[in-house]
Structure 1
Amino acid sequence: MQPLRKGRYEVSFAETAEEIRAAQRLRWLCFIGRGRPDEAPGAPGALDADDYDARCSHVLIRESGSGRLVACFRMLTLSGGAEIGDSYSARYYNLSRLRDFHGRMVEIGRFCIHPELQDPDILRLAWGALARHVDEQRVEMLFGCSSFMGTDTQGYEDAFAMLRERHLAPKRWLPRVKAPQVFRFARTLRLRKPDPRRAMAAMPPLLRSYLAMGGWVSDHAVVDRQLDTLHVFTGLEIGAIPPARAKLLRAAGA
């Protein structure tokens, strides 16, 4: 990916170990540090790192002027569904049905935006960069884990009820339970009618973007106590993206 600049921000791949550590520090701040207010973000151990980092491409979004890292995510490219067991998501979900998917796939992971920033242009630029990568690599599906902050389901009932009502994966791709602790929202909330306003207010921004493009989710959420999140498996078939929205994404990545 060639560096992409839009407005105040620029996107590039991490090229050095220090750039990857910068992403790991931001991930720690977003996922782990928020639950440890007394621990300094700059401490040597304040890193979110795992064995997948060495296998992934790391995308960095910085402020053009200051160079400050404002967002990051990582990408793992698979040649097709036969490799789905190698993904990070496969540690938490039974993805055996996706083995039949033909076409290149990219797993998006550890997406985070600096907690002090609320600029929607950051997410817009991230999707523009993804659109460019999808076109260059001829990717046919994006997938990953979309996280709700915290492990308590209270306050998320309308969001999960809306996912059950409108956005469950097609049966041919539907992930099955693998993790030891899950929230089976499709079963638990089957009688709940979601309030759309409350549902969308509680929905993570990245997941909202997936859903707006035709994305779908698992019928259960994994309780991830290590990262203090509830996450749902999320898939987006590129061919299902509405043409008008695809055009906007490509424009953002131009």
Structure 2
Amino acid sequence: MLSLSRGRYAARPAAGPEDLRRAQELRWLAFREGRAEGGASGLDADAFDAICTHILIEEILTGVLVACFRFLPLSGGGEIGRSYSAQFYELSPLESFAGPMVEMGRFCIHPAWRDPDILRVAWGAMTRHVDEAGVEMLFGCSSFHGTEAEAYLDVFAMLRERHLAPPRWLPRVKAPNVFRFAQKLARRKPDAKRALIQMPPLLRTYLMMGGWVSDHAVVDRDMNTLHVFTGLEIRAIPAGRVRALRAVAG
């Protein structure tokens, strides 16, 4: 399940506590380095780690962990209150979604690695699970580094203009500190080139496949991020993109 090798990289499920610790170390490096007192290293860990499946992506030759993510399967929208995202978004509109769902979270790539094949292998692994489990929706929080919305106004303007969730699924505000970009940027025309440069790679991939986002971003000072709820209905993925993903998933 979810194990595959492509080119320089291999994806596999965490096999035990040591693998989980390695993932938590990488997450700390990606999300929290530089914010710990005295520059000390640590682990990024929370209560959701115990109920999620963790995927490691390693360089085959060296065994170096270059990326990781976790996922939480749900039988349908009636279980969405169990998700990590439900801490930050009021998700009752999605409770009526009938098919199997998966929340994908804590995705990160080692800061020293820039190879786009890493992201392809990650999506190949998730595609294999989606096909095997009959998943009908992927969702999660897509994160921007830092908490200053002004740094990403063109991205948010593009999200408002092109990628808002359908009204029937649109998450509502729950977190105490949010940036309501759909309201605040109603008259702003995005600079598309700048927006694509600034957009997180994971979010860009979701949107290329037909994904959509919430109409507001949550300011998460604990993780030093802004994030938007992101959903992707599997049946909405263009046929060509499905073929490309399945070619990686093998």
2:138 aligned partner: 142
Count of paired positions:
250
The AA in structure 1 aligned to 2:8 is R
- The CA deviation at 1:65 is 1.0
Name which of 79, 92, 96 aligns with 1:96: 92
Q: Deviations over 1:32-59 (max 9, x none)?
A: 1144495243xxxx00000000000000
1:160 aligned partner: 156
1:242 aligned partner: 238
SS in 1 for 2:25: helix
The AA in structure 2 aligned to 1:10 is A
1:21 aligned partner: 21
1:182 aligned partner: 178
The AA in structure 1 aligned to 2:81 is G
Q: Deviations over 1:120-166 (max 9, x none)?
A: 00001101111101000000000000000000112200000000000
TM-score, scaled relative to structure 1: 0.97
2:189 aligned partner: 193
Partner Cα separation in structure 2 for residue 235 and residue 3 of structure 1? 24
Q: What stretches of structure 2 of length at least 5 have no aligned partner?
A: none
What RMSD over aligned residues (CA atoms) do the two structures have, in Å?
1.0
CA pair 38-117 structure 1, distance change in 2 beyond 3 A: farther
- The CA deviation at 1:3 is 2.5
1:217 aligned partner: 213
2:10 aligned partner: 10
> How many percent of aligned residue pairs carry the same amino acid?
64
Q: What stretches of structure 1 of length at least 5 have no aligned partner?
A: none
Partner Cα separation in structure 2 for residue 21 and residue 68 of structure 1? 14
CA pair 98-151 structure 1, distance change in 2 beyond 3 A: same
Displaced runs of 4 or more, over 3 A: 34-38
Partner Cα separation in structure 2 for residue 179 and residue 2 of structure 1? 33
Q: Deviations over 1:97-141 (max 9, x none)?
A: 000001000000000000001100000110111110100000000
2:147 aligned partner: 151
Contact 2:69 2:107 in 1 (8 A): yes
The AA in structure 1 aligned to 2:83 is S
Partner Cα separation in structure 2 for residue 119 and residue 38 of structure 1? 31
